[in-house]
Amino acid sequence: MPVPESDQLQFCEDDINLMKKTVLAQLASPQIPDIDKSILAKPYKELLSVLSRTIEDGESHMALLIGPHGLGKTVVVEKAMENLASSESDVFIAIRLSGSLQATEQHVVREIARQLDAALHTEKSADSSTFEKRAISDTFANILLTLETSVESRKDKKSTKELPTRIIFVIDEIEKYTDTPRQMLLYNLFELTQNPKVPICVLGVTTKVNIRDMFEKRVRSRFSQRIITTHLAGSLEEFWRNASQTLRIKAIKFVQFGDQQYPKKWNEYIDTLDKMKPVLQTLYQCYFTTKSIWEFKQSCMLPIRQISSAAPFPDPDLFPVYSRSLVDGVEAKLAACSNHELMMVVAAARWVHRSENSNVNFNLAYNEYERMMKDHNIETTTVMANANNANSSHIDSLALAGIKVTKTIHSAAIMRDSWGRIYRTGLLPDAISSSSEINAHNIQNMYKEIVIEDSRMLQLDILLEEVRSLVAGDPMMERLTKI
């Protein structure tokens, strides 16, 4: 490939190292250099508007931020909070909760109390009150009472615990709190937004597009129906426009370079990359498979690392190297699975083997997983009891008879995440119908980032016998692959 005319220019080693450091940092960061010009601009502005009305105007709001995994929901939230904190940091408190980190409503209540105490710098001593109490009910009642009287407490100059009048709750994976009886946590938080005295905002972040249907009736009736969504790029041009942001240098950073012509020429060169065949090939592969900007950023790492004073611009021929180096075999995919993911693969393979049907969904695989683990626990307990009877005295056998060594059977909520990750590895392509067999190989992983419903039929790309041969050396897994 001919060397661009700009490559004939000479730049000092310090500028080359600064360029390399700056661009690599942008590629490694989950942040977007200019969110206002990215695919996240619309959801960012919508969320910023909702939060601003709570913080600046004292209004109460609730909203849901919905989008596939890895599509910038956290980036949107953090950028909006950062924007508001720069000018209104002393006016509001942000309470961050997670359905994975705080698995039960009791944990959530404790975490809310802890964050309120930390935000207000409350000392936990014998003579000072805190939001957190010994009993969960007392803790929650204390929090609700404080929130409901926050306006009055600000008028009381003698109050030792003065709350800002705005509180923002950010609940990541909010769908995990819909499994609890009566959904008391969501009900109480949504109920607070109906109180004109308490200007708070409740923001739920989720990948579930049907999250509203998961709310209980009385919770749904209090939801304001405001939904903010993030989307995948709708065209190759839009994908490149967003992906190339992390390769460009902002004009404000030009002054950091000894020769300011270098970042200017660099940006001009980046604008021409999508016309070069190797880069275009990489763009096509990323866009028509995963639509993952992160994957494209990985392809950019090597070309950026290789720039030097002799070649100050990235070599387009190096962009496809990353994708070509990826091992794409079933063996590599299975080896990359975690223990939970491997359990679900084995369970799905067992069900396929029993039913002689190559299609399987999460519900079927999870039922087989429960059955498989129960049988394994019974078998393990029986084997241990027989071994103890053979090698122990009668008294020891009686003492050990009541001891059971069992493997934990994880909940559907935990294993559902593993099922989604298996899908994204390519071990669970979409089920092939008679009308789609011709193009199945090309499109089977096109929508890896979408949310997989429990009833969606997928096609397992490996047989039970193949799984058994690939897990050789793991006694437990070998035993589970035998029916």
Q: Is residue 253 one of the residues assigned to a domain?
A: yes
Q: Is residue 366 one of the residues assigned to a domain?
A: yes
Task: Give the residue-averaged pLDDT of 25-53.
Answer: 89
Alpha-carbon distance of 428 to 439, in angstroms, equals 16
Whether residue 216 sits in one domain with residue 117: yes
Q: Is residue 35 one of the residues assigned to a domain?
A: no
Q: Is residue 34 one of the residues assigned to a domain?
A: no
Q: Is residue 88 one of the residues assigned to a domain?
A: yes
Whether residue 204 sits in one domain with residue 336: no
Alpha-carbon distance of 56 to 87, in angstroms, equals 11
Picking from 38-42, 55-59, 402-406, 473-477, which range would have the lowest pLDDT averaged per residue? 402-406
Res 350: pLDDT:
93
Per-residue pLDDT band at 324 (split at 50, 70, 90): confident
DSSP label at 92?
A: E
Q: Pull the structure tokens for residue 304.
A: 């950026």
Per-residue pLDDT band at 356 (split at 50, 70, 90): confident
Q: Among 194, 229, 264, which residue terminates a domain?
A: 229
Res 99: pLDDT:
86
Strand partners, 420: none
Domain count, the chain: 3
Task: Give the residue-averaged pLDDT of 324-349.
Answer: 82
Q: Could you tell me how far CA 307 lies from the centroid of its own chain? A: 33
Q: What CATH number does residue 161 fall under? A: 3.40.50.300
Q: Is residue 418 one of the residues assigned to a domain?
A: yes
Whether residue 204 sits in one domain with residue 84: yes
Res 268: pLDDT:
94
Q: Among 302, 325, 348, which residue terminates a domain?
A: 325
SS3 label, residue 464 = helix
Q: Could you tell me how far CA 145 lies from the centroid of its own chain? A: 34
Res 223: pLDDT:
80
Per-residue pLDDT band at 447 (split at 50, 70, 90): very low
Whether residue 338 sits in one domain with residue 383: yes
Res 229: pLDDT:
92
- Model confidence pLDDT, tens digit, residues 274-293: 999 999 999 998 888 778 88
Alpha-carbon distance of 185 to 47, in angstroms, equals 23
| Closest by Cα among 88, 4, 2 to 53 | 88
Task: Give the residue-averaged pLDDT of 108-131.
Answer: 68
Q: Is residue 454 one of the residues assigned to a domain?
A: yes
Tokens 């058994």 correspond to 468
Per-residue pLDDT band at 144 (split at 50, 70, 90): low
99 — phi, psi (to 5°)?
Answer: -65, -20
Q: 114 or 383: whose pLDDT is higher?
A: 114
Alpha-carbon torsion 265, 22, 20, 72, what sign?
A: negative
SS3 label, residue 107 = helix
- Model confidence pLDDT, tens digit, residues 295-319: 899 999 999 999 998 999 999 999 9
Q: Pull the structure tokens for residue 243.
A: 């992906």
Picking from 184-188, 285-289, 412-416, 444-448, which range would have the lowest pLDDT averaged per residue? 444-448
Picking from 118-122, 334-338, 359-363, which range would have the lowest pLDDT averaged per residue? 118-122
Alpha-carbon distance of 187 to 205, in angstroms, equals 16
Picking from 82-96, 215-229, 253-267, 351-365, which range would have the lowest pLDDT averaged per residue? 82-96
CA diameter of the chain: 89
Whether residue 151 sits in one domain with residue 265: no
Res 430: pLDDT:
79
Mean pLDDT across the chain, nearest whole number? 80
Res 433: pLDDT:
56
Whether residue 263 sits in one domain with residue 170: no
Res 161: pLDDT:
46
Q: Among 229, 251, 277, which residue terminates a domain?
A: 229
Per-residue pLDDT band at 16 (split at 50, 70, 90): very high
Q: 387 or 98: whose pLDDT is higher?
A: 98
- Model confidence pLDDT, tens digit, residues 219-275: 888 887 789 999 888 899 999 999 999 999 999 999 999 999 999 999 999 999 999
**Percent of the chain, pLDDT > 70?**
78
Q: Answer yes or no: is pLDDT of 45 > 90.
A: yes
Whether residue 171 sits in one domain with residue 312: no
Q: Is residue 33 one of the residues assigned to a domain?
A: no
Q: Answer yes or no: is pLDDT of 32 > 80.
A: yes
The H or E element that residue 29 is part of is none
Whether residue 193 sits in one domain with residue 121: yes
Whether residue 265 sits in one domain with residue 201: no
User: Could you tell me where the DSSP H helices lie in 253-361?
Assistant: 261-270, 277-287, 293-305, 321-325, 330-335, 339-355
Per-residue pLDDT band at 331 (split at 50, 70, 90): confident
Q: Answer yes or no: is pLDDT of 34 > 70.
A: yes
Per-residue pLDDT band at 89 (split at 50, 70, 90): low
Res 304: pLDDT:
95
Res 129: pLDDT:
60
C-alpha neighbours within 13 Å on the C-beta side of residue 80: 27
Q: For the chain, count helices (H), then strands (E).
A: 22, 7
**Percent of the chain, pLDDT > 90?**
30
Whether residue 338 sits in one domain with residue 238: no
Picking from 101-105, 413-417, 461-465, which range would have the lowest pLDDT averaged per residue? 101-105
445 — phi, psi (to 5°)?
Answer: -115, 20
8 A C-beta contact, residue 116 and residue 127:
no
Whether residue 301 sits in one domain with residue 168: no
Q: Answer yes or no: is pLDDT of 126 > 90.
A: no
- Residue span of the structural domain in which 195 resides: 40-229
Whether residue 372 sits in one domain with residue 309: no
Alpha-carbon distance of 60 to 241, in angstroms, equals 36
Res 130: pLDDT:
64
